[in-house]
Amino acid sequence: MLELRSVSKHFGGIVATDEVTLEVEPGEVHALIGPNGAGKSTLIAQIAGDLGSDRGAILFEGADITQATQHERVRAGLSRSYQITSIFGRFSVVDNLALAVQARSGSSFSFWRPVSAEAALFEEARSIAGEIGLAGRETASAATLAHGEQRALEVGLALATRPKLVLLDEPMAGMGPEESQRMIELIGRIRARVTVLLVEHDMDAVFRLADRISVLVSGRIIASGTPAAIRAHAEVKRAYLGEEAGV
């Protein structure tokens, strides 16, 4: 579904992503792991369109989207969540999600009719709120949510665009064990209808959820395969998992 060919990005003298070649199959949960500073967030940004690529090609469902703008990629079915929570703080939870639903349902160059009249929009927003575990917090202003709730909304926004593939950038960032567990369950629920490329540091979550894992070190993919294969991979153990020989 998603294919990266020699995708590269450098900032001045620093090479952030280096000839990254990767494939994400439809329906799978594909995890992207690597040490801090490996270039994971840069790669996600390149795939989603926040950043342009210096070299290489990005193909989504066979079509070349390397030059496509971010909103065009979202329209094509590719959306992302952010590592650092980026939501609409002064909007309520339901309004946040309704925005994303609005984005993909018809033109928003409508200047007269009040949005509140569009019941379908808000119904869908409420159902997504329920799915991400924010059913009781619909009218709360997004800025007042607890950290874990905000991370859930973060993912919810990406899901509300009804993507075919969603890029989750460290959805569990800063979460405690209980919240992480809920996020793992959420990803478990959505995997049936959406392909997931998951960037995470939480190895427990990664090995429980992932169908396949790719390892990014210093901007290069050093290994890609099933969780068992990655666990046994010598170079991965050396570069990333450290001296935990028993892992």
Contact residues for other proteins, defined by CB under 8 A: 12, 48, 50, 69-71, 74-75, 79-80, 82, 86-91, 95, 99-100, 102-104, 107-116, 157-158, 160-161
Cβ proximity to other proteins: between 25 and 72 the closer is: 72
Minimum CB separation of residue 150 from other proteins in Å reads 12
Minimum CB separation of residue 83 from other proteins in Å reads 13
Contact indicator for 61, 53 with CB cutoff of 8 Å: no
Name the one residue in this structure whose structure tokens are 């567990």.
181
The one-letter code for the residue type at 107 is: S
Cβ proximity to other proteins: between 25 and 50 the closer is: 50
Element (H, E) at 178: helix 177-190
Provide the token pair at 153. 């909304």
Cβ proximity to other proteins: between 96 and 180 the closer is: 96
Minimum CB separation of residue 211 from other proteins in Å reads 26
What 3-state DSSP class applies to 192? coil
| Dist CA 139 CA 152 (whole Å) | 15
**Is the torsion defined by CA of 224, 24, 48, 144 positive or negative?**
negative
Q: CA dist 124 to 17, 121, 128, 154, 157, Å? A: 38, 5, 6, 16, 12
Minimum CB separation of residue 44 from other proteins in Å reads 11
Cβ proximity to other proteins: between 36 and 107 the closer is: 107
Contact indicator for 22, 214 with CB cutoff of 8 Å: yes
Cβ proximity to other proteins: between 100 and 145 the closer is: 100
Minimum CB separation of residue 152 from other proteins in Å reads 15
Minimum CB separation of residue 48 from other proteins in Å reads 7
Neighbours of 92 (CB within 10 A): 18
Cβ proximity to other proteins: between 121 and 216 the closer is: 121
Cβ proximity to other proteins: between 158 and 217 the closer is: 158
Point out which residues pair with 15 in neighbouring strands.
10
> Which of 230, 242, 236, 204 shows the shortest CA–CA distance to 217?
236
Minimum CB separation of residue 223 from other proteins in Å reads 30
